[in-house]
Every structure is written in structure tokens, then in C-alpha cells.
Amino acid sequence: MSTDTQEIVEHNITGLLHPVGRPGSRVLAQNIELLLENPSVREQMGIKGGENVLEAAHLFLLQIVPKMVGLTDNFLSLFVLSQVSRSI
């Protein structure tokens, strides 16, 4: 299983994980069959996955936007100071 995928997908909650490569093909087929035969499972995994994406996006915005605003303020302050210095 891919580590990156495991960080995003919670097995049986937001999706189904299976081994990578030829040994995983049987498990992949079983996972596809399970999803095809169970629309409510697909729906619940989709809902939970969507909730996780929204939560991650919210946390990202809470952490990144203030930093970007701070960087922009710093840049503008330096720009204004450089313009003032030139005029003196």
C-alpha cells in the first residue's frame, strides 16, 4: 500500500485500500465489487471523504492565509521604505 494514499484514505471509512501490484489485483476486484453492490457504502465513504477534504482545506486556510497576509504586509512595508529612502 502506498503511504501517501494511507495518509488520505481511511480504510473502510473514506475509501478502500488494497496492496499495490499484481498481488493486490484480487483485493482490488473485491473492493470494486463491494462498492458496486453497496450504494450506501459508496455514499457514506463519499460523504466522509468530502468532510475530510473540507476540514483539511479549512485548517490550511487558517494556517496559511495569516502567513500570506503577514508576508504581504512585510513586503509592502519594505517597498514603501525603499521608495521613501529614494526620495530623501
Give the 3-state secondary structure of 32-85: HHHHHHCHHHHHHHHHHHHHHHHHHHHHHHHHHHHHHHHHHHHHHHHHHHHHHH
Question: What pLDDT score was predicted for residue 4?
Answer: 67
Lowest mean pLDDT among 1-5, 11-15, 22-26, 56-60: 1-5
Query: How does DSSP classify residue 12?
Result: T
Residue 7: pLDDT over 90: no
**Quick one: which H or E segment has residue 1?**
none
C-alpha cell at 13: 471509512
Structural domain for 83, as ranges: 3-87
Q: For residue range 39-84, what is the model confidence (pLDDT) as tens digits?
A: 999 999 999 999 999 998 898 888 888 888 888 878 888 888 788 7
| Model pTM score | 0.62
Number of structural domains (the chain) is 1
